[in-house]
A and B are shown apart, each in its own frame.
Chain A
């Protein structure tokens, strides 16, 4: 492979250094979103499960980074193969990586930089699912699940929508940075896995309130920061379009934050900090597909709509009896779908010369129809394929932690750790202290009883 890399002349003879610098910096920004997501979710679970949540997010970085280099990048961005279902395996193991990215000869950055940037999207997408499955997914099953999922679900969907050789891309469906590929996809998969896993022990009777709301806001802040790389980086160049995506991202997020807390104030009587963080994330999700296709004023409307509707959707799970623990359905599925469909109304040729006009700009319903098809295909495929992967694991190695493990919590029962050790008496001592083991045995007995 190394000989190969050296032997072939670079795909882009003279990469634009400004574009390349911006995309590489953006890749680093997008990587930071996954630890940010870990804290956003980690603060929302109970204190006995926070390490379990952080671990699932970090291990997603581990698993997906390896799978991406080996096979998934090629499935996503190789020239269409498998009858158009996914990219071919021409770039398996990053062979031929220095050839131009399929269908993307206008790219002004090295294909390897493009590959690195796209990897970060593939990492955070399965990580998003952990919000639905919180507190009860067996660790071994989770690791196998995301390896299969990123290969069989993310790879093909990214190919259809992101690769210029993909069938939805060729039809003209618009998804600037992954409203359907990342968010609606992860949201649908999250709902599917929440159905397969069933409820957490005790839900909804037992109170399962967030154990550390400041973590949630810290995580939301890191997500917001990293999202500038996600959206503005998706221009794949340091240009005017990247500027639009940057401004639209911030504007829609701000409006969604306001939309969410206004609904809360009217409905519940208080505007909450958790609501402000959730509204911001709903806005980030909804602007993701639209960031390079709509105007900043359009972004205000899009943000207000997404923030208020996602907020209203968070109570649906109680009516449906579905334990979507951290509302991945209400925020990422609903937000991603809303953003993708709203392009059909707010999309404007004036922002992006490659884009079509939506309903409000005299473009008629054609773009909206394309967007609806994109949403239907990604959500439908994600839900069904996730169900199949989940069912296969459920009936082989099993996917759910036992009631006892859930009562003890993921941190101790899966990882033999505890997140917070403020009590010197029960901290244990180095080595296999008899005091420590007697404490932990007592704890286990108590839970059993």
Chain B
């Protein structure tokens, strides 16, 4: 099994969620995060004084999938999250050793 983690622009969340549902995933986890990449932060001006905002708000999406689906899910997220502008985010895939459904105790792919 693989964990697909994506950092995307907040306003792209609905597009990515719809695309993943269409692809057929069973669930996902979303969190609000902050950070910077090559985009860096931005500048805000209050009464003429400039403030550098280093961390930009982003959305982190986490989906655990079967090995065979990892590439497909990754492609779906990249396609749905893309605007072509700087700051679109990143997606990465990491191996997952084990997964358990808390309610039933099922393990592995059955628990997805």
Contact = CB atoms under 8 A, between A and B. Distances in A.
A268 B48 contact: yes
Q: Most chain-B Cβ atoms within 10 A of its Cβ — which of A209, A274, A315?
A: A209
B47 interface: yes
26 contacts: A207-B51, A207-B52, A209-B46, A209-B51, A210-B46, A264-B45, A264-B48, A267-B48, A268-B45, A268-B48, A269-B45, A270-B45, A272-B45, A274-B46, A274-B47, A275-B47, A278-B47, A311-B47, A311-B48, A314-B47, A314-B48, A314-B49, A315-B47, A315-B49, A318-B49, A327-B47
Interface residues of A, number: 17
B110 interface: no
A268 B43 CA distance: 11
B44 interface: yes
B70 to A, nearest CB: 32
Interface of A: 207, 209-210, 264, 267-270, 272, 274-275, 278, 311, 314-315, 318, 327
Contacts of A315: 47-49
Contacts of A270: 45
Nearest to A327: B47
Interface of B: 44-49, 51-52
A282 to B, nearest CB: 11
A290 B75 CA distance: 67
Contacts of A327: 47
Contacts of B46: 209-210, 272, 274
Contacts of B45: 264, 268-270, 272
B32 to A, nearest CB: 12
A131 to B, nearest CB: 12
B46 to A, nearest CB: 6
Contacts of A311: 47-48
Contacts of B52: 207
B88 to A, nearest CB: 25
Given A264-B48, A278-B47, 7 more contacts: A269-B45, A272-B46, A274-B46, A274-B47, A311-B48, A314-B49, A315-B49
Nearest to A208: B51
A140 to B, nearest CB: 30
Nearest to A207: B51
A315 B48 CA distance: 6
A314 B48 CA distance: 7
B110 to A, nearest CB: 31
Contacts of B48: 264, 267-268, 311, 314-315
Q: Most chain-A Cβ atoms within 10 A of its Cβ — which of B47, B49, B51, B52?
A: B47
Nearest to B44: A209
A281 to B, nearest CB: 12
A70 to B, nearest CB: 38
B50 to A, nearest CB: 8
Contacts of A267: 48
A327 B47 CA distance: 9
A251 B98 CA distance: 70
Nearest to A330: B47
Contacts of A275: 47
Nearest to A268: B45
Contacts of B44: 209
Contacts of B47: 274-275, 278, 311, 314-315, 327
B9 to A, nearest CB: 22
A314 to B, nearest CB: 4
